[in-house]
Copies of this chain bind each other. A is one copy, B any other.
């Protein structure tokens, strides 16, 4: 059997089942985006990695090295933020074609440093090698106090499901990357959505507020798409979920971009991925305080998009009062 038939998550499950020594100081290991490691202090050590590979994850014609550096750091920070953690140190593993211009690398590091500094973390080391394609593999360490950690597994029945910011913009931006236009409104939309796609801003301040209030029950970042990432919460929490399509925060620009490219905006929001928003669950009576605190301090809207239900009910999306199955699928890195 080939890995493409098994798929990314199938392969991860297979690897997980095969490893016999998971390490008894691990709170979360293989299968989660972030490893959570017990230490001698009252903080857990967090470790995650995420790669940007030329022609697979980006094309040089559509992203500047400065943007690419920012993006590589941002998507890693997003994973740490989704646990309530604080990023601390990066290692940068770089694969470079020999003919790469030194100036390109200068710009790449400037972008990485900007995104790292903004998060309070520093670049601590790494590794450089020759490679036929440009490759940036970021390893990020972080920390979180024991009582502030939020994982995927705590969602309770009747909890509401909330999301920061708006959905579908990452995928809409990707669809507009190589479109040429002279229409002024379309140019403004394209500019906005491309920026959202190319240089997502991780929701670190928002996650800090959510964490501090200690009322959220489960949390994840939206890298693979709402359906896929909500699927992780449901599986880990052994629950089901209902999403209300009409309540999904989809911007006017995303809707116009979807129309322009003959695509369903709802599909972008549910399955598009790369939004790097925070998806979380909380008891109903806590929701108003959570929304208010995040928006008051950061300006970022927080929207109720659904409800946690029993695992027997599975995952559904309600469109015009009719339930449809919500497939826990999104971006498969091996498909």
A residues near B (Cβ < 8 Å) are 1-4, 6, 8, 11-12, 14-15, 18-23, 26, 28-35, 37, 39-41, 45, 47-51, 53, 55-57, 88-89, 91, 93, 95-96, 98-103, 105-106, 109-110, 113, 116-117, 121-133, 135, 137, 139, 141, 333-335
Cβ contact within 8 Å between B106 and A14: yes
**Distance between A236 CB and nearest chain B CB, rounded to angstroms:** 15
Which residues from B are CB-within-8-Å of A95?
51, 53, 135
Cβ contact within 8 Å between A100 and B3: yes
Cβ contact within 8 Å between B53 and A99: no
Cβ contact within 8 Å between B124 and A19: no
- A10 to B, closest residue via Cβ: B102
Which residues from B are CB-within-8-Å of A335?
98, 130
Q: Contacting A113 at CB < 8 Å: which of B20, B122, B133?
A: B20
Which residues from B are CB-within-8-Å of A37?
88-89, 124, 141
Which of A49, A95, A100, A124 is the most central at the interface, judged by chain B CB atoms within 10 Å of its CB?
Answer: A124
Which residues from B are CB-within-8-Å of A139?
47, 49, 91, 93, 139
Cβ contact within 8 Å between B123 and A2: no
Which residues from B are CB-within-8-Å of A11?
102, 105, 128
Cβ contact within 8 Å between A93 and B137: yes
**Distance between A156 CB and nearest chain B CB, rounded to angstroms:** 26
Cβ contact within 8 Å between A131 and B30: no
